[in-house]
């Protein structure tokens, strides 16, 4: 019989992003484990940072992220909010 903790570990899901032609694998806990959590991400306006911001938002965390490009930051924040997650972009 598998313990409850082992069952939770088996339920992680992955998100793959392509950055500069390389596949990056992210392991993010399911939504019910990310609820009521806040993820802080720096340089979340492009590349791996943006993918990380989107992944945490999709997993149910509240996301606070920063970046140097306001247009991309606002676009990413809008995308996350449209998917039902809370987020804050800070320049």
**What is the number of domains present in the chain?**
1
CATH of the domain at 64: 3.40.50.720
Domain range for residue 81? 4-90
Residue 3 Cα distances to 6, 32, 34, 51, 86, angstroms? 5, 18, 21, 32, 33
Residue 91 Cα distances to 22, 65, 67, 87, angstroms? 28, 9, 6, 13
Residues 1, 34, 73, 23, Cα dihedral to 10°: -10
Assess whether pLDDT exceeds 90 at residue 3. Answer: no
Q: How far is the C-alpha of 34 from the C-alpha of 11, rounded, in Å?
A: 13
pLDDT digits (tens, 9 = 90+) for 5-51: 444 444 444 455 555 555 555 556 565 556 788 989 999 999 888 98
Indicate yes or no: pTM above 0.85: no
Higher pLDDT, 53 or 28: 53
């Amino acid at each position: 019989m598998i313990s409850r903790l082992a069952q939770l570990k088996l339920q992680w899901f992955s998100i793959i992003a392509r950055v500069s032609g390389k596949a990056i694998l992210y392991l993010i806990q399911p939504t019910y484990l990310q609820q009521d959590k806040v993820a802080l991400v720096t340089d979340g306006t492009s590349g791996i940072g943006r993918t990380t911001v989107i992944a945490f938002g999709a997993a149910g965390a509240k996301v606070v992220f920063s970046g140097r490009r306001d247009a991309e930051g606002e676009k990413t924040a809008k995308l996350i909010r449209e998917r039902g997650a809370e987020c804050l972009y800070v320049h």
